[in-house]
């Protein structure tokens, strides 16, 4: 069954990479902060506020990824922030140098999600759907678009 999950995830990765408009790291940060952490982040929070909140909790977003408006999020990136969020909420997060560390039982964050029955497909689909017409308003505002 796990092999089947890996095959399906691989096929989703290939299909997702063919998109012309892809979600950015700013989009991922805003949706994660305002969705998963909505009790802690205001609905009018800027991209910078969302990123600062997530980084303060160990869900790391690189400045280099954020300042490139064309750098697309990968499924692995999505798996990492979802995995880090789950660990944070469960109280099992091991924060090392400001970043929640991946548990040793998994080689990648995608593996971590698969091993823990975390279904990334709905999260990925929602991210892609919300950014199908371009970046979110908070991200566009950050880049002056």
pLDDT at 80 (0 to 100): 96
Digit-by-digit pLDDT tens for the chain (145 residues) are: 554 444 444 444 544 444 446 899 999 999 999 998 999 999 999 999 999 999 999 999 999 999 888 899 999 999 999 999 999 999 999 999 999 999 999 999 999 999 999 999 999 999 999 999 888 989 988 888 7
Provide the Cα torsion 108, 109, 115, 121; round to 10°.
-130
- In 8-107, DSSP assigns E strands to 95-96, 99-100
Q: Where are the domains of the chain?
A: 47-145
pTM of the complete model: 0.81
Phi, psi angles (nearest 5°) of residue 24: -100, 170
81 close to 100: Cβ distance less than 8 angstroms: no
CA distance linking residue 64 with residue 25, whole number of Å: 10
């Amino acid at each position: 069954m796990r092999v089947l999950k890996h095959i399906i995830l691989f096929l989703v990765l290939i299909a997702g990479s063919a998109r012309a408009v892809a979600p950015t790291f700013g989009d991922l940060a805003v949706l994660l902060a305002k969705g998963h952490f909505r009790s802690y982040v205001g609905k009018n929070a800027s991209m910078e506020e969302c990123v600062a909140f997530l980084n303060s909790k160990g869900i790391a977003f690189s400045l280099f990824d954020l300042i490139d408006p064309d750098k697309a999020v990968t499924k692995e990136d999505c798996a990492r922030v979802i995995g880090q969020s789950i660990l944070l909420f469960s109280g099992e997060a091991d924060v090392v140098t400001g970043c929640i560390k991946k548990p040793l039982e998994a080689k990648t964050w995608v593996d971590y999600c698969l091993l823990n029955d975390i279904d990334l497909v709905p999260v990925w689909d929602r991210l892609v759907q919300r950014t199908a017409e371009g970046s979110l308003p908070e991200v566009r505002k950050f880049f002056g678009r």
